[in-house]
A and B are shown apart, each in its own frame.
Chain A
Amino acid sequence: MLDIGRIRALRGPNIWAERPVIEITLELGEIPEHGPDLLERLASWLSSLAERGAFLERMGQVANLADTLAQVALELQTLAGSRVSFRQTQPSRIAGLYLVACEYDEVTVGLACVDSARALLGAALHGGAFDLAGEIARLRTLCQEVHLGPSTAAIARAARARGIPVRRLGRDNLLLLGQGFHQRRVWTAETDRTGAIAEAIAQDKDLTRLLLRSVGVPVPEGRPVSSPGDAWAAAQALGLPVVIKPRFGNHGRGISANLRTQESVEKAFSAALAESPDILCEHHIPGSDHRLLVVGERVVAAALREPAQVIGDGVASLAELVDRANGDPRRSEGHATVLSLIKLDVIGLAVLAEQGYTPDSIPAAGARVLIRNTANLSTGGTATDITDLVHPEVAARVVDAARVVGLDIAGVDVLAQDIGQPLEDQGGAVVEVNAGPGLRMHLEPSAGTPRPVGEAIVDLLFPPGQDGCIPVAAVTGETGATAISGLVAGMLRRTGAHVGLTNGEGRFLDGRRVGDGDCATPDAACAVFLNPRVEVAVLEVQPGEILEQGLGFDRCQVAVVAAAGGGQVGPQGDATPDNLTRALRCLVGTVVAEGAVILNAGNPLAAGLASHCRGSVLWFARDAEHPIVQRHRAQDGRAVVERAGFIVLANGQAEQRLLPLAAVGPKPGSGLQVEEALAAAAAAWALGIPLSQIRAGLEDSDTH
């Protein structure tokens, strides 16, 4: 009962969906169909965490126990922090054996949730105990460990929404967007154009100030100081009040602002020394702390950042005021909610002491009491979106600041009384330029409008209209696919393109072998897309691999289904004609609307595939009078046939001889089959390769 026979993660697209799914064979055995009491028990456990009505509505739609498992697995993934919604269940031909597909986002989270769902369902069925809260906590932790960070996740979502292929490289936040020659890499809010030198400059606040000044960005006057005495000398020369800060460093560590006395300057010097051996003294710029996000040549978001603080009412103590503030449901431990808790810890107490308070003090009504000096969200600070208020002159200066440092994406910190006025008029200044800025405050501001900053970054990497995809020709077929893919790759190379090819014989780049063994796999396809030289890919696809792993791409220009029979489409159990059809449909379904599927008129499965293609259909057949070909041509369709010893391209009723079959090399009659030559010619024609190069490719057919 509830025995999981086989479980495998399929990438998307696959025979179930375009999205990645976990596929489970589930042995239900003698378990009766579930009744309302099971549902009620599940609801009583899960609805404490999920909204009860919605949960019951979703659960009400499940068809059977297998489906229930899938839905519970989805619920658990959602509670853990994944965004998933797809599930499907299908009985197999064996009674009591079900196939279940359930979407996943991160495979380890998905598998863990399936496991938990099975245990949970078992406990619900048999009346056992289950520590759901503990389980959810464990899954959440797992999810946080393996999931993309919030900034990267926003970029990944934005890219997917624009149809740009997204692949995570490794276990960190490195994303591959697009394919091959068009690929871009992005790592949190840093791209492949974010220079290492620019990042180093941004970390050096003294050098940053010099560069900013060179382009006329207002900056505070200041200089490096070597001792407490030197710091005080600098402070007097600059004019009080001043700021003491480490020359290198970030996140506000070691910074003391608004210093007016020799004692405080010298003390601040020692405090900064704990962070960095190099210390700066700068003129203090009064005003609020604004973070402006520059992406390319634009300010795409701006936030007013305020440190954790409470406002007195003349009655409550500071400890009570902090408790009251933490009662806000938007505040919680960590990053789960928009705001973090305000903590009266060692630092908080020190900040209170600076203002002459203790936790028991009762500040006057309306008095603003800081609990932190720096405006980080993670220490209880708030971020209010003010994008629409930024004066265009301020935005222009901030973009200049990012550009002169050399950053394509930057978080620029601006101190100003009024962000709606030019900085020069009010003595405002840019005080810091940050590489790899956090996006959370713009994605989920504590007040104001969330900004589509992930979208802005994707737009920077891929100008509108570009999806980062390279043309792909996919070839499948029980026989001939390897030969056809080699032929098509050879023709493409003749057009001057850098061609990546994977097939049963290996992986090739411009004819040079770069991978051994059977490479008609999704992994090999991914390796092709990872290669930054590849401008067009030709990929052999085996139906069995589609069933087992899914596809390595989500769209192609041309799909060739060469020959097809039943037979070997994978390990036992999968090898049903049904599954074969589903696998081929999955492939054909990836052909784009402007693309074409190349089908063999002699293939009995082919007719059923044509209707699954969004693009056009090209038939090939040795028999020029094949009824399917005739019918297709009558509707102005295209076909490639053999007629009178020639390969002939037919477009509607028009025909053009491509070349005599006898010219197809290298060893006529021995190696290449006629069908393979026809299929390759059809694919090449559909790809728009000039006929001369198609001919040459067929005549010299031993290229990869």
Chain B
Amino acid sequence: MEIERVRSLLGTNVWADFPVAEVWLDLSGIAEGELDGLCRRIRSRVGALLPACRLPRLGAGQDRLALELWLARTFARLTLTLGTHLGGSGKDFLRIRQLGQPGLVIVAFAYRQELVPRACAEAVMDLLIAVRTDVPFDLPAALAELGVAAEQARPTPSAAALEGAARARGIPVRHLGSGLLQLGHGARQVRALNTCSERLGVVAQWVTGERDLMGDLLASVGIACTEAPVAGPHYRVLVAGGRVAATIRWEPPTGAAGAAQVTDLSDLVHPEVCARALDAARAMALDIAEIRLVVDDPSRPLEAQGGRVSEVVAGPPLDAYLTLGKIQSGTGAGRPVAEILLDALFPEGGNGRIPVAAVSGTNGKTTVTRLLSHALTLSGRHVGMTCTDGIYLAGRRIDTDDCAGPKSARLVLLNPQVEAAVLETARGGILREGLAFDACDLAVVTNIGEGDHLGIGGIETAEQLAEVKQTVVRGVAPWGTAVLNAADPLVVPMARHCRGSVLYFARDGRNPVLVRHRRRGGRVAFARDGALILATGRDEVASIGFEGIPLTRGGRTLFQVENALACAGGMWALGLPLDTIRAALATFGGDTDKSPGRFNVLGLNGATAIFDYGHNPSSLLAMVEALGGFPHRRRIAVYSAAGDRRDIDMIRQGEILGAAFDQVILYEDHYVRGRLPGEIMALFHQGLGAGGRVAEVQAIHGWENAVEAALWAAQPGDLLLIQADQIDATVAFVRDRLAADQARRELPISQAGAPFEHGAPAGRVDPSGTAS
């Protein structure tokens, strides 16, 4: 019995549109005979320890699954009860899911940072273990410890008020640590530290502590200062962005435990007093400040009664102001001080958002991501893009790892240069952390097809995969658009979960989903008579011939036609002008430099080599369909598959290869992911046997050797498919080979043969291979 992991899903996630904490419980360690007794002991002892916690009913004669479920429910209730003790009640949200793996249960509940979910879960586990091992549990001590952790995690009242006001205005908020808030995304973000804005100067802040200097500066605008800060009752004027947000009378706490007395005078204060407070803030070069005044009557000008400034506070705490009005009015609505502060932080207004596009699906998502990024770049924006090939900032690649997860996406949204973000959104990150954002302008789901990576992370079927990928559609803002594949039955139902509008695309304009959507006045993208059509209801607003879209090779590469449709729809939904859409499609090629590993074609001494990253049955099928457009007589495939695919997926890929290629070179290297050496090969062989076309199968260890062997085997007129796991390295490798080959051919004849003889053995592989 232990906690396997705790996850915080801060963005829109598979469970909900708000932050959710996941606790994975591993109950497999509890013996079959022990479980029922343990549950009953827990029920009686916890009931006595925490009477406030209502435990679920525990029926007699339950099976193991039911008992595990009961234990998980109890665990969840206890965790939430501890949260209540910490002074918070999260949203009333609780979900429990049993995974296929025996004994593994996920408990999910609403996340709040100050309720320290991990610490609470660990405390509950300690309690349960204490019951199990029958030792005493010091609940008050545990609660006290949690209280300390909660206090540390709790944002200051000022920060919480500011965050609340920001969220209410639709501004995305991210905690950067050390109390620093990122309000907004990319180029439109501002930073705030409690109530300090980015404009708070380090010099200005220092001057507030230098009374002589402060006196000089305030004297320059005709305001007098007291000799020293005044501790007794005085008035405080909160100034933000050239406005007075509130004025209070402040009296120091009386007695040890007393609180400061605060009276709201905002409506009584004389305009001249406000004007002087604004002057003081300006002279001190502060945009947000509290001016503390010593004056008899703030409803009269300062000068007439010798009013003085006692202190000027940069980035003042809002605590005293947040209670204003609430008590008097009894309605709970206070003075909107946090809102006025927010106006000061966003002097231009707006919600701090840049255009954000998220792309998901089984195949084609990197191509769509790249093409959307290309289009936004053409529209003049500094684009941040994340995808499986890395992170690109305005075309500069800053990371070469797989970056289709929320960490990379958040990194791009943190970048203050980025004016638009295109984020490939893979399922792993959605499961681990949720989305990197709370709302996006565009979500594209290219397809689900037969799925990929099935059998990992509790996702067994394509339907379950669709449910995960549907999260990006749920992340579409009310003003945003989901671009969905009308031809994919697992994608179409996602429309129901979209808060914004939907644009369907399909190769076939007669697709019933598409037709129905058009009839209702919806927007669609489809292909007809060699052209890409964009339409709103009956109106066809654009027709772009496929001969002008090199990605599709004149419309012959059918899966690229689908990608082009998805992209065109996405660009249109983002509000890009038709000219930009046309230009983007016309200038985006399948060349290796722009889209490494995505159906790139390279001439190869008379043969044709195609590189692709696709590594699942759907992508392979699409690839084979595309190869139909090539006239080549003989086809050779270099292919591997990672070990984390299901057996049936490997066999299926073998079948497809066997039916479409004359020669297949299989390889495996360090990507075996938990399989025995040769195991994958055996599965492929099983499928290959079923395919009717293949005449020659080789198994080779290491991708370099496999590629080398294929280059060696290729004759002029052959078609070579190279499935590249390490895209960059493979393309570079082939290019090197070609260059070396070129150099060799330029050598005098007498020497030309030599490297051939020396070079051949390295590439030539014993057909018996290493696979057994």
**Contact at B201–A195, with CB atoms within 8 Å?**
yes
Would A170 and B210 count as touching, CB distance under 8 A?
yes
* B119 close to A (CB within 8 Å): no
Q: A170-B213, A204-B178 are in contact. Are A196 and B412 (CB under 8 A)?
A: no
Instruction: Choose among B192, B222, B393 the residue that contacts A215 (Cβ–Cβ < 8 A).
Output: B393
Contact A192 B203 (CB under 8 A): yes
In contact, A196 and B393 (Cβ under 8 angstroms) = no
Contacts of B314 in A (CB 8 A): 196
Residue of B nearest to A206 (CB): B177
Most chain-A Cβ atoms within 10 A of its Cβ — which of B203, B285, B411, B417?
A: B203
Tell me the chain A residues, 400-416 only, with Cβ under 8 Å from chain B.
Answer: 400, 403-404, 406
The answer to whether B393 touches A216, judged by C-beta atoms less than 8 angstroms apart, is yes
Complex formed: what's the CA distance from A532 to B281 in Å? 11
State how many angstroms separate the Cβ of A68 from the closest Cβ of chain B: 38
Residues of chain B with a CB closer than 8 A to A210's CB: 176, 411, 414
B285 in contact with A185 (CB, 8 Å) = yes
Flag if B221 contacts A531 (CB, 8 Å): yes
List the B side residues contacting A528 at CB < 8 Å.
Answer: 220
When the two chains form their complex, are residues B203 and A174 in contact, meaning their CB atoms are under 8 A apart? Answer: yes
Chain-B contact segment, one of A12-20, A41-49, A305-313, A512-520: A512-520
Interface SS of chain A: mixed
CB-CB under 8 A for A196 and B200, given A174-B207, A215-B393: yes
Instruction: Check if A195 sits within 8 Å of B202, measured CB to CB.
Output: yes
| Distance of A24 Cα from B656 Cα, bound (Å) | 103
Pick the contact of B180 from A200, A527, A533 — CB < 8 Å? Answer: A200
- Chain B: number of interface residues, binned into ranges: 35 or more
The residues in A between 523 and 576 inclusive whose CB is less than 8 angstroms from any CB of B are 527-528, 530-533
A347 in the interface (beta carbon within 8 A): no
- Chain A residue at minimum C-beta to C-beta distance from B221: A531
Q: Is A190's beta carbon under 8 Å from chain B?
A: yes
Kindly list chain A residues whose C-beta atoms are within 8 Å of the C-beta of B715. none
Q: How far is the CB of B173 from chain A (nearest CB, A)?
A: 16
Of all chain A residues, the one with the shortest Cβ separation from B303 is A513
Query: Among the listed B191, B212, B221, B303, which residue makes an inter-chain contact with A406, where contact means beta carbons less than 8 Å apart?
Result: B191
- State whether the Cβ of B770 lies closer than 8 Å to any Cβ in chain A: no
Nearest CB on B from A522, distance (A): 14
Q: Is the CB of A530 within 8 A of B220?
A: yes
| A194/B198 in contact, CB under 8 A | no
Q: Is B205 an interface residue (CB 8 A)?
A: yes
Tell me the complex Cα distance, A178–B196, Å: 27
Instruction: Fill in one digit per residue for B421-451: 1 if any A CB lies within 8 Å of its CB, else 0.
Output: 0000000000000000000000000000000
State whether the Cβ of A199 lies closer than 8 Å to any Cβ in chain B.
Answer: yes
State the Cβ distance, B402 to closest chain A Cβ, in Å: 16
Question: B residues 172-213 with Cβ under 8 Å of A?
Answer: 176-178, 180, 191-193, 196-207, 210, 212-213
- Across the interface, name the chain B residue whose C-beta is closest to A396: B396
B180: which A residues are within 8 A, CB to CB? 197, 200-201, 207
Q: CB-CB < 8 A to A191: which residues of B?
A: 201, 203
Question: Are B206 and A187 in touch, CB under 8 angstroms?
Answer: yes
Contact in complex: A530, B216 (CB < 8 Å): yes
Q: Which residues of B contact A515 (CB under 8 A)?
A: 219, 222
**Interchain CA distance A169-B193 in the complex, whole Å:** 28
Interface residue B312 (Cβ < 8 Å from any Cβ of A)? no
A38 to B178, CA, bound (A): 68
Main secondary structure of the interface of B (DSSP, over half): mixed
Chain A hits for B412, CB < 8 A = 214
Chain A residues, Cβ within 8 Å of B393: 215-216
How many chain A residues touch B (CB < 8 A): the figure is 46
Interface centre among B180, B202, B315 (most CB of A within 10 A): B202
| Residue of chain A at shortest CB distance from B191 | A197
* Bound complex: CA A211 to CA B314 (Å): 25
Q: Which of A187, A214, A530 has the most CB of B within 10 A?
A: A214
The answer to whether B203 and A186 have CB atoms under 8 Å apart is yes
CB distance from B199 to the nearest CB of A (A): 7
Residue of A406, A528, A531 with most partner-chain B CB within 10 A: A531
Contact A216-B203, Cβ < 8 Å, known A170-B213, A527-B216, A530-B216: no
Q: Which residue of the partner chain, among B193, B204, B221, contacts A192 with CB atoms under 8 Å?
A: B204
Is A335 an interface residue when CB atoms closer than 8 A count as contact? no
Residues of B within 8 A of A527 (CB): 216, 219-220
| Complex CA distance for A185 and B216, rounded to whole angstroms | 14
- Asked whether B165 is an interface residue with its Cβ less than 8 Å from the other chain, the reply is no
Known: A169-B213, A191-B203, A216-B393. A531 touches B198 (CB 8 A): no
Query: How far is A486 from B758 in the complex, measured between Cα atoms in Å?
Result: 98
A333 to B193, CA, bound (A): 41
Q: How far is the CA of A200 from the CA of B197 in the complex (A)?
A: 12
Residue numbers in B under 8 Å from A204 (CB-CB): 177-178
Cβ of B398 within 8 Å of any chain A Cβ, yes or no, is yes
Does the CB pair A214–B177 fall under 8 Å? Answer: no
Q: Residue A83 at the B interface, CB < 8 A?
A: no
Chain A, residue nearest B203 (CB): A187
Decide: A533 near B282, CB < 8 A? Known: A169-B216, A512-B222, A528-B220: yes
Closest residue of chain B to A170 (Cβ to Cβ) is B213
> Does B415 belong to the interface (CB within 8 Å)?
yes
B604 at interface by CB-CB < 8 Å: no
Give the residue of B203, B205, B283, B415 whose beta carbon is less than 8 angstroms from that of A531: B283
Q: How far is the CB of A517 from chain B (nearest CB, A)?
A: 13
- B225 CB to nearest A CB, Å: 13
The answer for the CA separation of A200 and B283 in the assembled complex, in Å, is 24
Given contacts A170-B212, A207-B177, 6 further A-B contacts (CB under 8 A): A185-B203, A191-B203, A199-B202, A216-B398, A404-B415, A531-B283
Query: Closest 5 interchain pairs by CB?
Result: A514-B222, A216-B398, A530-B220, A531-B220, A214-B414
Q: Could you pull out 29 A-B pairs where Cβ atoms are within 8 angstroms? A: A170-B210, A185-B204, A185-B285, A187-B202, A187-B206, A192-B201, A194-B202, A194-B203, A195-B201, A196-B196, A196-B200, A197-B180, A197-B191, A197-B197, A198-B202, A200-B180, A204-B178, A207-B177, A207-B178, A213-B398, A213-B411, A216-B398, A509-B222, A514-B219, A515-B222, A528-B220, A530-B283, A533-B279, A533-B282
